[in-house]
Amino acid sequence: MATSLISNIQKEQIKAIIDDIHETFARNITVFEEGEKVLISASSEYNAIYGRARTGSTTQKVSVSHTIKARIKYINSEETILADGAMNSQSDIELIDGSVRITVDADGFAILKEAKRAEFEGRRYKIVSKGNPTGIFGPQYYHFFLQPLDE
């Protein structure tokens, strides 16, 4: 039977050190979820089938945003390390110039798994991956790949 060379107390100390490193190098990013439709109407007669009120009012999308901390790595699309198996890559992601890999904690993962876009350093990005868990003793952080949006 294998014996662990690192005690549980030491494991917790190492996790705390990694958390300190993340906190040191993480930057704030803004994450946008799909907006919810809100009915704007002066009438209480709403037709759910057609999605409008009798008075002809319209719906409006509301942008829901969150600010989370993430470590940011800008990717050179000409690097072959992401595609040659040397790194745990996701083969269905096509890297283009300006692609970014961000690393977030579990709280950030809960927000990012439902989000579609992110914004930081004056640019907007589309989230193109589902979040790849990483950590020494189990999932502690999650990597997401983002592509720049031309807006």
CATH number of the CATH domain containing 125: 2.40.10
3-state secondary structure at position 10: helix
* pLDDT at residue 18 tops 70: yes
- Name which of 93, 115, 92 is nearest 104 in CA terms: 115
- Residue 80: per-residue pLDDT: 41
3-state secondary structure at position 103: strand
In a domain, 30, yes or no: yes
In a domain, 15, yes or no: no
- Residue 57: per-residue pLDDT: 52
d(CA 99, CA 123): 11
Mean pLDDT of 129-142: 92
Mean pLDDT of 121-127: 92
* CA 53-59-65 angle, 5° bins: 145
* CB 130 within 8 Å of CB 142: no
The chain-wide mean pLDDT, for the chain, equals 80
- Name which of 34, 22, 35 is nearest 103 in CA terms: 22
- Residue 120: per-residue pLDDT: 93
What's the maximum distance between 2 C-alpha atoms anywhere in the chain?
Answer: 74
In a domain, 122, yes or no: yes
* Amino acid making up residue 54: R
* pLDDT at residue 9 tops 80: yes
Domain count, the chain: 1
In a domain, 94, yes or no: yes
**Residues present in the chain in total:** 151
In a domain, 101, yes or no: yes
In a domain, 2, yes or no: no
In a domain, 80, yes or no: yes
Segment 49-67, tens digit of pLDDT? 666 655 555 566 677 889 9
The parent domain of residue 122 ranges over: 26-34+66-148
- Residue 77: per-residue pLDDT: 65
Residues with Cβ within 8 Å of 91's Cβ and at least 6 positions away in sequence, in order, are: 83
Q: Residue 126's pLDDT band (boundaries 50, 70, 90)?
A: very high
- Residue 2: per-residue pLDDT: 78
In a domain, 126, yes or no: yes
* pLDDT at residue 151 tops 50: yes
- Name which of 121, 122, 119 is nearest 146 in CA terms: 119
